[in-house]
Structure 1
Amino acid sequence: MLPLIPLLASIAPVAATAAGPAACAKITTQLGSSKVVSSELSLSYIESIEYWSTLQDAYKPSCVVYPKSAQDVSIVLQAVRAADSRFAIKAGGHNPNTFYSSVDKGVLLDMSSMTEKSYDPDTTLATYGPGGVFGDIYEYFADYNRTVVGARLAGVGTGLALGGGMSYLSPQYGLACDSFRELEIVLPSGEIVIASNKSNPDLYFASRGGGGNAYGVVTKYTVQSRPSGEFWAGNLIYTFPQKDNVIEAIGNFIQYNTDPKAAIIGTYEKLGTPDLNLNLDEAIIMFLVYDGPDPGDAFSNFTSITPLLDTTGIKTYLEVVNMPIPMSTEISRGANIFRVGVHRPGDGSYENALDIWRDWAETNKGRYTLLSLDFQPVPKSLTDASNAQGGNAMQMPDGPWFWLNYLITTPPGMSEADFNAVQASYRDMVKSSGNAEGLPLFINDANYDQNPLQTFSAFAKLQEIKKRYDPDNFFADKTGGWSFE
């Protein structure tokens, strides 16, 4: 059995044993048995409790509900409240934090049936539901030669946008949440409202990167779509001899690139197997994406370094988000945990964080199967685009700066004591790298104990909005999510 996280698992009270089934019975009466599944042997139930981080697979809801409308969600929330049950909201299930999209002995709202999409050619606005994954959304809008700002991997769900959402298009258009124009939200009370610049503008502000479904359940997104044509894109894979040159090239790109059509992710991968002094346990995989058929010299710092493998060429956006191979999200399922750091280029923290991570990787062989350190630039063009659309809940300071995403995948069958020990050590390693003052941590990549909302300059405002829309702490007490304390 996969190890659990005792501190978080203890959140589920004994009373939930009765409260969950009571809520499920009420929901079944109101919505009908076709939308509610309680049997753990049901194929749909089994599929609903599969997560990208397999640590979450261990939790068993009293029932899974498949709402098809905002009205269905309203009925579910009111039944959950009446029964005093715990609950969770699952879109793609990519968040690895315990109880953020999983629940034990409570009600799981699986949004996978809410996948309606539309496009208005007169306004170029697009709508999509909270169900499904971004790959399906991109495929739909490709028929109109349009796309939306969303995940960089096709298999990631729509909840990513509520946490900010970094895209290959972000240097041009801001984060995914910056493209929001209107949100349909079911409040903790069950009331269905519209959040926009004109209607509930405080809720609209908070929902753009300020804590996900912390204020209500988003049941429909209306966003500004973007043109989608040919992309020059692909992966360059480098091994040991080139790694220091590639790391230097990443730093230079973060600090000096000014072309908003050029986007990268730099991923430094370490395997948990011994390197045998041959450095066969590590590689750097560059994701290079240019919005257009000719990147010019935007990526010359990378292309001038001879890679082991080069897959660059002309691609559609659907091909771009399936790099390096299709089904990347599904294939990478495992005992995955995220952490995040934030740094400014040129201040030495870049090199310091990398050295600390490398040292930890070498001294902890056998305690992980994979480590990944991902460099995610936040250029000034991105922060300018965000501010031009009203800004988001992060109130992003001017770029350039960058987020570091730390991924650790631990071996299956690890004892609870060993799992907790390696996670504590990894946490301390990330913390020792420090963070730049005045910059926000990225919710999409944060661990629950990093309290990312507290790094936002608008944190006090978000606390007030949370109290306004969840006055009796229903969501705060009955489902997982970021701390507003």
Structure 2
Amino acid sequence: MLSLQALLPLVAGIAVPVAATAGTSACSNISTQLSSSKVESNELSLSYIESTEYWNTLQDDYKPACIIYPDSAQDVSVVIQAIRAAGSRFAIKAGGHNPNTFYSSVDKGVLLDLSNMTAKSYDEETTLATYEPGGVFGDVYEYFAEWNRTVVGARLAGVGTGLALGGGMSYLSPQYGMACDSFRELEIVLPDGQIVTASNETNTDLFFASRGGGGNAYGIVTKYTVQSRPIGEFWAGNLIYLFDQTDAVVEAIGNFIEYNTDPKAAIIGTYEKLPTPDLDLNLDEAIIMFLVYDGPDPGDAFKNFTYISALLDTTGIKTYTEVVNMPIPFSTEISRGNNMFRVGVHRPGNNSYGNALDEWRNWAESNKGKYELLSLDFQPVPKSLTDASKAQGGNAMQMPDGPYFWLNYLISTPSGMSDADYDAVQASYRDLVKNTGNAEGLPLFINDASYDQNPLQTFSTFSKLQEIKKKYDPDSFFADYTGGWSFA
């Protein structure tokens, strides 16, 4: 049965979609409770345009009825209660880097842009750091560098702080675990508008689930208190390899994943495919290695890579700010496009990832013209990382012992593609990733997962997370009115 709210536009003879009506109603209610400077509905304003720009530019097309710029947990509480009363769709945006539709974007509903919430603090006695969810990790790192400290977060400066709620992989993770493992206390606005604290002492189940268990699925995090880490000089840089070196570099990546035991050494191996012909000479591919060592001398940690002749070598002594701006500053912003992620997980020591690489190469060759860039990123999960996670109580993944590694399958499609062609290429890429298989008993990495991969179902804790979700979102308000991972 239609509600009175849904019937009113029809009675008036105006066929306005229910979602649009609910969004407009919510915006009107919010405008009476918050300062006008915190509410924007003009699609031509600079703030509106900036707030509706995403790393996956396909999300730019969605236009919220209004954008709210809260500057406190109290503001967020007011907004959530108004959204509930109106029955409006909504979304929460920090950095806007998640490419999945409606995970941080909304059409005709209410967008909560957290960019005004950027307060940070450092306690020299406890070495605990606090930061609010607005802004990007690069800003957070620069703030704490004053004390020669940092926090475990994104590997690119331009990525938003919401990454930590999905786990968060850092160059420091082999020493300190995932970003979420460093959480010590979270301020959270629940789906009913309550403002609560979650920690190992208070709302412990909520705290557990918020450490990598689905982002803002249980409430909106408005402040992080985390264990900071010491920071100094790094030996770091990029090695770029072309053509006939690629197979040797892939072998070196496999050896590093399986045999490296130095927790200060971290890598990302990014295998790139371009839409240009390869002419049977691998002219369409390159590998960009990110090598990072927490200290000025890596010793032999990266010798398997440095022994291979590289086209470009930018390694040397760097600050942490320089490290997270590799290969160039603003790389997150520059790489905006029709981007989508998928993820796989494998253990070293067998040929599963070799098969995945071969299938990916074959797909790339068979689908020239349907992508602007493909990237297959090797992300090691060493035992030192999983040990560090367990030592801090573990996270929602309850990570099995390493070593293993996540494969990030990035596809960037040409702009102007028809909907039918776009859907077809995404379905084909989905099938490619699915058919390569995954190692049994290992979790998929939420930060790199597509919505249809249902990463939470790969967690050994999934049933526990379902119970926590039901407890804190009992009427499925967040589940039904905003995007996010499936708990079904």
TM-score by length of 2: 0.96
| Matching of residues 209-248 of structure 1 within 5 Å | 209-248=212-251
**1:273 to partner: Cα distance:** 1.9
Partner of 1:399: 402
1:314-360 deviations in Å (ceiling 9; x for gaps):
00000000000000000000000000000000121011111010000
Out of 151, 159, 167, the position equivalent to 2:162 is 159
SS in 1 for 2:240: strand
Q: 5 Å matches for 1:121-132?
A: 121-132=124-135
| Contact 1:234/1:310 (<8 A) preserved | yes
Q: Is 1:173 the counterpart of 2:203 in the alignment?
A: no
Report Cα offsets for 1:436-479 as digits up to 9, x if no partner. Answer: 11000000000000000000000000000000000000000000
Deviation at 1:278, TM superposition (A): 4.0
1:70–1:219 CA contact under 8 A, matched in 2: yes
CA contact 1:273–1:369 (8 Å) conserved in 2? no
The residue aligned with 2:264 is: 261
Q: Give the residue type in structure 2 aligned to 1:336.
A: N
CA distance in 2, matches of 1:79, 1:23: 6
Q: For 1:330 and 1:132, how far apart are their aligned partners in 2?
A: 13
Counterpart for residue 92 of structure 1: 95
1:147 is the counterpart of 2:128: no
Instruction: For structure 1, list consecutive stretches of 5 or more residues without a partner in the other structure.
Output: 1-12
Task: Show CA shifts across 1:38-73 (max 9, x none).
Answer: 010110000000000001000000000000000000
Is 1:457 equivalent to 2:454 in the alignment?
no
Amino acid at match of 1:223: V
Matches within 5 A, 1:370-409: 370-409=373-412
SS of residue matched to 2:44: coil
What CA deviation, in whole Å up to 9, does each residue of 1:66-94 have, x standing for no partner?
A: 00000000000000000000000000000
Q: Distance in 2 between matches of 1:153 and 1:484?
A: 29
Take 2:276 and 2:62, find their aligned partners in 1: how far apart are those partners? Answer: 30
2:456 partner SS:
helix
* Aligned 8 A contact 1:90 1:108 in 2: yes
Give the equivalent residue in structure 1 for 2:8. Answer: none
Mapped contact 2:168–2:179 kept (Cα < 8 A): yes
Alignment partner of 1:49 is 2:52: yes
Which of 7, 21, 42 in structure 2 is aligned with 1:39?
42
Q: Paired residue for 1:3? A: none
Give the secondary structure class of the aligned counterpart of 1:397: coil
Aligned partners of 2:298, 2:280: CA distance in 1, in Å?
37
- Post-superposition Cα deviations, 1:157-195, rounded to whole Å, max 9, x if no partner, equal 001000000000000000000000000000000000000
Residue 315, structure 1, aligned to residue 318, structure 2: yes
The corresponding residue for 2:353 is 350
Secondary structure at the counterpart of residue 26 of structure 1: helix
Provide the rounded CA distance (Å) in 2 between the counterparts of 1:369 and 1:138: 32
Contact 1:272 1:281 in 2 (8 A): yes
Moved more, 277-286 or 348-357: 277-286
Moved more, 446-455 or 24-33: 24-33
Aligned residues: 473
Q: How does 1:275-424 map to 2 (within 5 A)?
A: 275-424=278-427
What are the Cα deviations for residues 303-323 of structure 1, in whole angstroms up to 9, with x where unaligned?
A: 010100000000000000000
Match of 2:210 among 189, 207, 210: 207
User: Which one-letter code corresponds to 1:27 in the other structure?
Assistant: I
Structure 2: distance between partners of 1:467 and 1:269 = 41
Counterpart residue identity of residue 302, structure 1 = F
Deviations 1:197-248 (A, max 9, x none): 0000000000000000000000000000000000000000000111111000
Q: CA contact under 8 A between 2:177 and 2:385: conserved in structure 1? A: yes
Q: Within 5 Å, which residues of 2 pair with 1:12-91?
A: 14-91=17-94
> Distance in 1 between the 2:278 and 2:142 partners?
41
Measured in 1, the distance between the counterparts of 2:486 and 2:451 equals 8
The one-letter amino acid of 2:373's match is: L
Q: Which amino acid aligns with 2:232?
A: G
Question: What amino acid does structure 2 have at the position aligned with 1:83?
Answer: A
Identity of aligned residues (%): 82
CA distance in 2, matches of 1:468, 1:306: 56
How far did 1:279 drift?
2.7
Q: Match of 1:10?
A: none
Amino acid at match of 1:228: I
1:443 maps to amino acid = I
| Distance across 2 between alignment mates of 1:214 and 1:118 | 26
| Pairing 1:274–2:277 present | yes
Is the contact made by 1:20 and 1:85 (CA closer than 8 Å) also made in structure 2?
yes
Structure 2 counterpart SS, 1:143:
helix
Contact 1:202/1:465 (<8 A) preserved: yes
Q: Distance in 2 between matches of 1:89 and 1:17?
A: 18
Q: Report the alpha carbon displacement of residue 17 of structure 1 after superposing the two structures with TM.
A: 1.1
Displacement of 1:275: 2.4
Residue 281 of structure 1: how far off its partner (Å): 1.4
Tell me, in whole angstroms, the C-alpha distance in 1 between the residues paired with 2:280 and 2:331. 29
For 2:291, the aligned partner's letter is L
Q: Do 1:74 and 1:186's aligned partners in 2 also have CA atoms closer than 8 Å? A: yes
Letter in 1 for 2:266: A
The question of 1:470 aligning with 2:473 is answered yes
Q: For the residues of structure 2 that align with 1:74 and 1:274, how far apart are their CA atoms?
A: 54
Aligned counterparts of 1:460 and 1:373: Cα–Cα separation in 2: 31
Cα RMSD, aligned residues only: 0.7
CA distance in 2: counterparts of 1:187 and 1:449, whole angstroms? 26
What do the CA deviations read for 1:243-300 (whole angstroms, capped 9, x no partner)? 1110000000000000000000000000112223443211000000000000000000
Return the alpha-carbon distance in structure 2 between the equivalents of residues 278 and 330 of structure 1: 32
Shift of 1:28: 0.8
Secondary structure of 1:23's aligned partner? helix
